[in-house]
Amino acid sequence: MTSAPPATPPTVRTARPAALAVGLLALLAAGVASVAVGARAVPVGEMWGAVADFDPLNGDHLVVRDIRLPRTVLGIAVGAALAVGGALIQTLSRNPLAEPGILGVTHGAGFALTVGAALGLAGSAVSQLGLGVAGSVLATALVYAVGRHSTLRLLLAGVAFSAVLMGVSLGIRLTSPDTLDKYRFWAVGSLAGREQADLTVPLVAIGVAFVGALVIARSLNAVALGETVAHTLGANVARVRTVTLVLITVLAGAATAVAGPILFVGLIVPHLLRRLTSGSVPWLVGLSAVVGPILMLVADTIARVLLHTGEVPVAIVTAFLGGPMLIWVVRRYGAGSL
Partner 1 sequence: MTTRLSARDVTLGYGDRVVSTRLTLDVPDGAFTAVVGPNGCGKSTLLRAFVRLLTPDEGAVTLDSRSVSDLPAKGLARELAFLPQDPLAPEGITVRQLVARGRYPHQSLLALWTPDDERAVAEAMVTAEVEDFADRQVAELSGGQRQRVWVAMVLAQDTPYLLLDEPTSFLDITHQYRLLALLSRLRNEGRTVIAVLHDINQACRFADHLVAMKDGRVAAEGAAADVVDAALIKDVFDLPSVIVADPVSGTPMVVPE
Partner 2 sequence: MTGAQKTRETPVAEQTSTVRVPVGGRAWFVQRRIIGLVVGCVVAMLGLGFVGLSYGTSWATPGEVFGALTGLEPSVVIAEWRAPRVVAGILFGAALGVAGAIFQNLTRNPMGSPDIIGLDAGAYTGALLVMTVFAGASVTVAFGAVAGGLVTAALVYSLSRSNGLSGMRLVVIGIAVNAMVTALNNWLVLRAELEVAMAAVGWNSGSLNGIDWEDLVVPFTVIAVLLTVIGLRASALQQSALGDSIAVSTGVPLERQRLLMVLVGVGCTATVTAVAGPVMFVALAAPQIGRRLAKAPGVPLLPAALTGAVLLQFADLVAQMLLAPVSLPVGVVTTAIGGGYLIWLLAQEVRRR
Q: How many CB atoms lie within 10 A of CB 47?
A: 19
Q: Which of 90, 136, 162, 244 binds partner 2 (CB under 8 A)?
A: 162
CA distance 31 to 274: 24
DSSP string, 37-58: -SSS---HHHHHHHHHS--TT-
CA nearest 209: which of 92, 77, 107, 24?
Answer: 77
Please state the closest distance from residue 334 (CB atom) to partner 1, in A.
Answer: 9
x/- string (CB under 8 A) for partner 2, residues 254-293? ----------x--xx--x----------------------
Residue 1 makes contact with partner 1 by CB under 8 A: yes
Total of residues contacting partner 1 (CB under 8 A): 3
Phi, psi of 312 (to 5 degrees): -95, 135
Residue 167 makes contact with partner 2 by CB under 8 A: yes
Residue 160 makes contact with partner 2 by CB under 8 A: yes
Q: Which of 31, 70, 104, 147 binds partner 2 (CB under 8 A)?
A: 147
Burial of 17 (0-12, 13-18, 19+ CB in 10 A): exposed
Residue 149 makes contact with partner 2 by CB under 8 A: yes
Contact stretch for partner 1 (CB under 8 A) within 1-9, 173-181, 205-213, 322-330: 1-9
CA distance 220 to 213: 9
Q: Which is nearer to partner 2, 225 or 330 (CB)?
A: 330
CA distances from 112 to 82, 102, 189, 335 (A): 21, 16, 16, 36
DSSP string, 296-312: HHHHHHHHHHS-TTSPP
Q: Which partner from the list partner 2, partner 1, none does 2 bind, CB cut-off 5 to 8 Å by kind? A: partner 1
CA distance 251 to 306: 29
Contact residues toward partner 2 (CB under 8 A) are 1, 95-98, 146-147, 149, 152-153, 155-157, 159-164, 166-168, 170-171, 173-175, 177, 180-181, 184-185, 187-188, 264, 267-268, 271, 312-313, 315-316, 318-320, 322-324, 326-327, 330-331, 334-336
Contact residues toward partner 1 (CB under 8 A) are 1-3
